[in-house]
Chains A and B, each alone.
Chain A
């Protein structure tokens, strides 16, 4: 999620710094709330700042804004495959999670976690009002789908890709084109994905982990000298 426009970097730097210096200071709560809105507007993301805010809400539940929490959770969904959504839920009291909009987000997360993309996109379409507040949502989920497909397949039917990213026809061709190394294999309707160590474990073996960190080697310096 590194789409950070340069004009915003000044601002984000200071809030991140605020969190680093005052991780347990209730006074920064309004700044953190503004920062969530800022992340939404500028399509940036800071898990640490958001966890810090959820922590302050956890300490002072009466100050919690469900609107802000919803935005944090949507942002966390967009960070898949990282477990950020769970990390946030761990900090949100159960009675708050009973709220309709949070229930919906939990269902959406479940579909993503279990790779049920068809159900996910159906459910997302029904809840557009909730999700469209956060620009870049669709693209972020599509990238997650691309990640899971890339872990799993060397070649995959076009229809499976279409379902996972929720794009069809010419747009899908464009989507495939935009991803480096993705090619459609002639008539078979198969999409060939670039090889990586996860869909082609042979690569892992040769990339051999025979490197030793320097600080381990320093242990034998006295012997060598």
Chain B
């Protein structure tokens, strides 16, 4: 397919990347000290120090010394860490993560990184690790694993620009980032860790997991347990990337997202969980559920943003924040339950999307284009999981999955577009006859009946338990030929309010008691 020139260029490229400014076997002193200390802290199970080195030193060193080159090779640093097998796997995992973030990986590197994940997860699954690693790091592993899978699928789908060499390599390594392999690793981590049983037992008070943030204070290792826990979020994400929203949500079921949990202990995990949870619910037409969760996390980000300014995840946090505002805009345009949204979030929403939102509630091509725009901006990076047939003419198919999800979503929007018109009329009447409404909407009565039934169908979703749930902000019923409008009032949940205040009061009293003692 490709000309010889391409291949030549590719060869040249890698020699530039690999040769001139970067010597993979040279280990500068700060790196030596970094690995020696990190290795020691891991052996001593000093989670605090590990976390400091992982979150701060690693990034500081990367910024200072490896801005556009990879870190020294693992072979070069192995001698400083007793050639420790597991440490080398961990080092390599970070090495690739840094490479993916700052440079563009070659196909060979992608495949090698997959092999490294296989070795690392095998070691964890066979239960021979006794380390205690920070949740942040364990989350990053799962997150990066899924990211690299997604990135590989996107890369592979751009067939047109592939060299013969690359295609040969892809054929040869058809197991690398294979979708079955990826899903089965996540599934295996989840099962081997018995995390579902642990969470269940915790509910019954027989086990502690959330209370200790997943850490093991009795000398054991938290690695498998917490990786298994985060794998559930990983599975949710992979299934969303595949367009399988139902299965994705099912994978998340063991985690009760109405409460704090280990998933909220790492901001990246918290955001990823809610972003995909909300997105899946949006696609399942459970708008109220999506609005509720987007609102909660946007309030949380709004209040805590400042503490993450120096974090390496800051940019990612801001990006997901913006995307979730876009998704919230979509949800609220289809289901205007503004009452569910917090004041601060609402103010932000007005500022960012106020004007677009009012246009989206109209029934014309322009509003349709806005749905397209916001969805495309905020949706996950959908993937086609299957390998191409290398014998057929090479075409790019990296946009296929995205186009399908977009098309089906817009189809849904189109089915709902007339509903906002009905809504504007219902808002101003307490009762109105079918005949009168039909003439206002310039349709005949049978058509009006179908529109009203569509309104009912679309504003009532089927919940996870199979029960019908009303998402309607303004509801109605028809008796004979008269429409009765009912504005839905969500009853205030005083019970919950009192529960929270009781706990708060108790905490205050506790604090005061302590003050007396001093």
A90 an interface residue at 8 Å Cβ cutoff?
Answer: yes
Q: Contacts of B477 on A, CB cut-off 8 Å?
A: 152-154, 198-201
A198 touches B468 (CB 8 A): yes
Question: Known: A201-B486, A212-B499. Is A89-B491 also a contact (CB below 8 A)?
Answer: no
A9 to B247, CA, bound (A): 23
**Stretch from B105-113, B115-123, B333-341, B446-454 forming part of the interface with A:** B446-454
List residues of chain A with CB within 8 A of the CB of B283. Answer: 86, 90
Which of A58, A90, A199 has the most C-beta atoms of chain B within 10 angstroms of its own C-beta?
Answer: A90
Fill in one digit per residue for B237-262: 1 if any A CB lies within 8 Å of its CB, else 0: 00000111111001000000000000
- State which residues 180-197 of B face A: CB under 8 Å: 180, 183-184, 187
Contacts of A220 in B (CB 8 A): 499, 502-503, 506
Query: Please, which residues of chain A bring their CB within 8 A of the CB of B179?
Result: 59
A201–B415 touching, CB < 8 Å: no
**Contact in complex: B462, A210 (CB < 8 Å):** no
Which residues in chain A, 44-92, are within 8 Å of chain B measured between CB atoms? 47-48, 51-52, 55, 58-61, 81-83, 86-87, 89-91
A131 interface residue per 8 A CB criterion: no
B460, A26: Cβ atoms closer than 8 Å: no
Taking a contact as CB atoms under 8 Å apart, the answer to whether B385 and A24 are in contact is no
Kindly provide the distance from the CB of B436 to the nearest chain A CB, expressed in whole angstroms: 17
Quick one: which of B247, B284, B466, B480 contacts A83, CB cutoff 8 A? B284
Contacts of B242 in A (CB 8 A): 55, 58, 91
B454: A residues at CB distance < 8 A: 113-115
A39 within 8 A of B: no
Taking a contact as CB atoms under 8 Å apart, the answer to whether A160 and B404 are in contact is no
Assess whether B495 is interfacial by the CB under 8 Å rule.
yes
Residue of B whose beta carbon sits closest to that of A153: B478
Does residue A174 face the partner (Cβ distance < 8 Å to B)?
Answer: no
A215 within 8 A of B: yes
Contact A59 to B456, CB < 8 A, known contacts A82-B462, A90-B405, A154-B478 = no
- Asked if A89 contacts B386 (CB within 8 A), the reply is no
Judge whether B499 and A94 touch: CB under 8 Å: no
Within 8 Å CB of A152, what residues of B?
452-453, 456, 477-478
Set of chain A residues within 8 Å of B400, measured between Cβ atoms: 93-94
Q: Tell me whether A156 is interfacial, beta carbon within 8 Å.
A: yes
CB closest residue in chain A, given B490: A209
Contact B495 A210 (CB under 8 A): yes
A216: Cβ under 8 A from any B Cβ: yes
Is B412 on the interface with A (CB-CB < 8 A)? yes
Tell yes or no: B479 within 8 A of A by CB. yes
CB-nearest residue of chain A to B183: A24
- A188: chain B residues at CB < 8 Å are 480
User: Quick one: which of A91, A190, A200, A216 contacts B243, CB cutoff 8 A?
Assistant: A91
User: B102 — which chain A residues lie within 8 A by C-beta?
Assistant: none
Q: Which of A140-194 contact B (CB under 8 A)?
A: 148-149, 151-156, 160, 188, 190
Q: A89-B408, A198-B468, A216-B496 are in contact. Are A223 and B502 (CB under 8 A)?
A: yes
In the complex, per-residue mask of B162-185: 1 if CB is within 8 Å of any chain A CB, else 0? 000000000000000001100110
Q: Which of these, B245, B404, B462, contacts A81 with CB under 8 Å?
A: B462
Q: Are B385 and A210 in contact (CB under 8 A)?
A: no
Does B403 contact A24, Cβ atoms closer than 8 Å?
A: no
In the assembled complex, how far is the CB of residue B447 from the closest CB belonging to chain A, in whole angstroms? Answer: 9
A205 at the binding interface (Cβ < 8 Å): yes
Report Cα–Cα, A155/B483, bound state, in Å: 11
Evaluate contact between B408 and A155: CB separation under 8 angstroms. no
Check A60 against B386 for contact (C-beta < 8 Å).
yes
Within 8 A of A (CB), among B480-508: 480, 486, 488-489, 491, 493-496, 499, 502-503, 506
Residues of B near A116 (CB, < 8 A) are: 450
Contact of A90 among B404, B452, B457, B479 (CB under 8 A): B404
Of B411, B415, B495, B503, the contact of A212 (CB 8 Å cutoff):
B495
A23 at interface by CB-CB < 8 Å = yes
Q: How far is the CB of B442 from chain A (nearest CB, A)?
A: 18
Query: Does A208 sit within 8 A of B, measured CB to CB?
Result: yes
- A82, closest chain B residue (CB): B462
In the complex, which residues of chain A have a beta carbon less than 8 angstroms from the beta carbon of B456? 148, 151-152, 198
B285 at the interface (CB under 8 A from A): yes
Q: Are A94 and B460 in contact (CB under 8 A)?
A: no
Q: Which B residues touch A114, using CB under 8 A? A: 415, 450, 454
Chain A residues, Cβ within 8 Å of B352: none
CA distance A71 to B405 in the complex (A): 22
Residue of B nearest to A79 (CB): B462
Bound complex: CA A52 to CA B247 (Å): 9
Q: How far is the CA of A200 from the CA of B461 in the complex (A)?
A: 17
Once the chains are docked, how many angstroms separate the CA of A31 from the CA of B285? Answer: 31
Chain A contacts for B503, CB-based, 8 A = 219-220, 223
Q: Once the chains are docked, how many angstroms separate the CA of A216 from the CA of B495?
A: 10
B247–A24 touching, CB < 8 Å: no
Q: Assess whether B187 is in contact with A24, with CB atoms less than 8 Å apart.
A: yes
B residues 416-450 with Cβ under 8 Å of A?
Answer: 446, 449-450
Tell whether B407 is near chain A: CB-to-CB under 8 Å: yes
Instruction: Please tell me if the beta carbons of A94 and B407 are within 8 angstroms of each other in the complex.
Output: yes
The reply to whether A210 and B491 form a contact with Cβ atoms under 8 Å apart is yes
Question: Which of A61, A115, A210, A223 makes the CB contact (< 8 A) with B457?
Answer: A115
Do A55 and B478 touch (CB < 8 A)?
A: no
Q: Considering the chains assembled together, what is the distance between the CA atoms of A86 and B180 in angstroms?
A: 24
Q: How far is the CA of A208 from the CA of B490 in the complex (A)?
A: 10
**Distance of A204 Cα from B475 Cα, bound (Å):** 12
Residues of chain B contacted by A113 (CB below 8 angstroms): 415, 454, 457-458
Which residues of chain B are within 8 angstroms of A153 by Cβ–Cβ distance?
Answer: 477-479
CB-nearest residue of chain A to B382: A90
CB distance from A122 to the nearest CB of B (A): 14
Cβ of B161 < 8 Å from any Cβ of A? no
B415 touches A26 (CB 8 A): no
Chosen A-B contacts, 15 in total, with CB atoms closer than 8 Å, are: A26-B180, A52-B247, A58-B242, A59-B180, A81-B468, A89-B408, A90-B283, A93-B404, A115-B451, A151-B457, A198-B456, A198-B460, A201-B486, A211-B495, A219-B503
Q: Which 3 interchain pairs have the tightest Cβ spacing?
A: A115-B453, A90-B243, A24-B183
Contacts A24-B184, A90-B408 known; 12 new A-B pairs at CB < 8 A: A59-B386, A81-B462, A91-B242, A91-B244, A93-B400, A149-B453, A155-B479, A188-B480, A198-B456, A198-B475, A209-B491, A212-B496
